Amino acid sequence: MLRKWAFRAVIAYLLFGILMYVYLFFIANSTIPADLKGTSVDPSTFLNGRELMLSEEYSKIRNLLFFLSTPYEWLFYFLVLIFGVSRGFERWAKNTSRFHIIQSAVFLFLLYLSAYLATFPLEFISYKFSKMYHISRQTFTGWMKDEVIDFWVNLATMFIIVTVLYALMRKFKKKWWIPAWLLSIPFTIFMMFIQPVVIDPLYNDFYPLKNKELEAKILVLADKANIPAKHVYEVNMSEKTNSLNAYVTGIGSNARIVLWDTTLNQLNDKEILFIMAHEMGHYVEKHIYFGIAGYLLLSLVGLWLTSILMNKIVSNKGEQLKISGVSELSSLPLFLLIISILLFAVSPLTNWVSRYEETRADRYGIEMTHNQKAAIQAFQDLTKSGLSQVNPPLLVKIFRYDHPTMLERMEMIEHYRFKKNP
């Protein structure tokens, strides 16, 4: 029976991978509409022939790896359960100590290390392709350094979550999801508060913008938007990538507007000012806080559904999955499997909301700067630096894009009608 389940799961994964490969490489259409040929959204007007070819190749590979990685994670958790690996880790953890907190630490380390080793090949393939297409500039040593930091940061975060979660499961049995959700509220806010000042600096160096003339221009925009900003931060990313980026992170007094130094090096001041105005739009429209509220709402529904599904699965298939009870540590792969599936299922909705907010920020940015040419040039440069598709396939947009496509963004800017001053 176990071999049959495992065989079917592996075959289903391979068939899914083949179908996605056929869809992305032979069926999906990423060409732009005929009536937009020769316009500013047409990649042939700002990319040369080689860049167009590389953009299509790299985008297809990257999209395929995206669609392969999540089901691969599901397959891993499923196989860990049915082959009794999770139960074996639980026995090992219980033999180590009688204290639940130490048992959680041992079990989680064994499971997380196994998951990391299992998914490492896909991560490495992604890194190698990014190097091959000159997106990444990172050495293997530098990449592995970030991987190790990522491993321990995620492990420490998961240790806190799992220890508290399973303590609640043991105490509240079927209603554990309610206190778990309530505790997730301050924890989420705390993590967002410390992210810019504690976690992000582990990976990169952050410092106030060196170009004081440009900073002064950005702060003028911030003043117009009534944003109490004193600094704009830049981060050293040129040793790692050729891609461009800027973002808003953190909340409250730790909120930061950050520019990658690659953006500073490759874009002119007018393009950067549009990007900064875009990021200020997120701040002005309180997208970070709406994001937190949305995340907490989805967490409530997700934890409730997870509790129902875990109870049913353990009751009906617990013996086959080697799980003796929901509150046992051996059920953690099942918990992670259900959460991962639910997150993937809801991703079209969360991506749609994010794309809406990004469109709002684009509108805010163009209203602030009144420079359509610079905005379109910025999007063209972002496309070129990341070898992105201007018009990605529908499934890719639905499941992967939390920003509007470059075609949509540039078309909106091209035809934007400015508000009339009263």
**CA atoms within a 13 Å half-sphere pointing along the CA-CB vector of 97:** 9
- What is the C-alpha radius of gyration for the chain, rounded to an integer number of angstroms? 24
Phi, psi of 40 (to 5 degrees): -65, -20
d(CA 289, CA 279): 14
Of 271, 362, 408, 411, the catalytic one is: 362
Q: Is 362 a catalytic residue?
A: yes
Six-digit token string for 241:
């990538």
Question: What are all long-range contacts of 285-293, with beta carbons under 8 Å and residues at least 24 apart?
Answer: 285/357, 285/360, 285/361, 285/364, 287/357, 287/360, 287/361, 288/192, 288/248, 288/251, 288/255, 289/251, 290/357, 291/357, 292/188, 292/189, 292/192, 292/251
Phi, psi of 225 (to 5 degrees): -90, 5
Of 279, 328, 357, 408, the catalytic one is: 279
Six-digit token string for 249:
């992170």
d(CA 307, CA 102): 24
Q: Is 205 a catalytic residue?
A: no
Q: Are 41 and 388 in contact (CB under 8 A)?
A: no
Annotated binding site: 278, 282, 358
CA angle in degrees (0–180, nearest 5) for 347-241-408: 45
What single letter denotes the amino acid at residue 289? Y
Annotated binding site for Zn(2+): 278, 282, 358
Q: Are 379 and 406 in contact (CB under 8 A)?
A: yes
List helix spans (H) across 83-99: 85-96
Q: Which residues are catalytic?
A: 279, 362
